[in-house]
Amino acid sequence: MAEYKEHKHLGVYGLIIKDNKILLIKKVTGPYDGKLDLPGGTIEYCEKPEDTLKRELMEEVGIEIKDYEIYDADSVTVEWAYQGIPTRTHHIGIFYIIKEFTNEIRKDIKIDSQNDDSLGAEFYDIKNLTKDMLSNIAILELEKLGYKLY
């Protein structure tokens, strides 16, 4: 049996769904590298979850959220190799439904000191998404919302 390094990650994520399309980011690092993921990220020290949500959606997507409500809190475990070391990450998420936002969604974002893992966002037709395209937390939340993924 392989030995794993254990890691915990607590993040806040936005669910923006319109006309059976969901806003997803293109991940470029971490356990979801190459996958589509929910916009959001790590709660910083002394930061409230709502403030994390606002900051992360501005950094990763370029939008300012105006109306939102908490939807869910849940977790998944992800196995991956961090710098060649087998790692299990307990990924804990707080999820918000975003009802209203301003600004244009940025489809192309460069990696910098504020944005370290998203190449931008766009709406994807949920019926065309498959589990192998998505992060574990995106799968979890879409299935909780009643969508069937294959």
Could you please report the per-residue DSSP string of 51-104? HHHHHHHHHHH--EEEEEEEEEEEEEEEEEEETTEEEEEEEEEEEEEEEEEES-
pTM: 0.92
- 59-69 pLDDT, tens digit per residue, is 889 999 999 99
| pLDDT score recorded for residue 41 | 94
| pLDDT score recorded for residue 117 | 72
Structural domain includes residue 69: yes
- 88-118 pLDDT, tens digit per residue, is 999 999 999 999 999 999 888 766 666 567 7
Q: Where in the sequence is the domain holding 13, given as residue range(s)?
A: 5-144
Q: How many distinct structural domains can be found in the chain?
A: 1
Q: Domain of 63: which CATH number?
A: 3.90.79.10
Structural domain includes residue 149: no
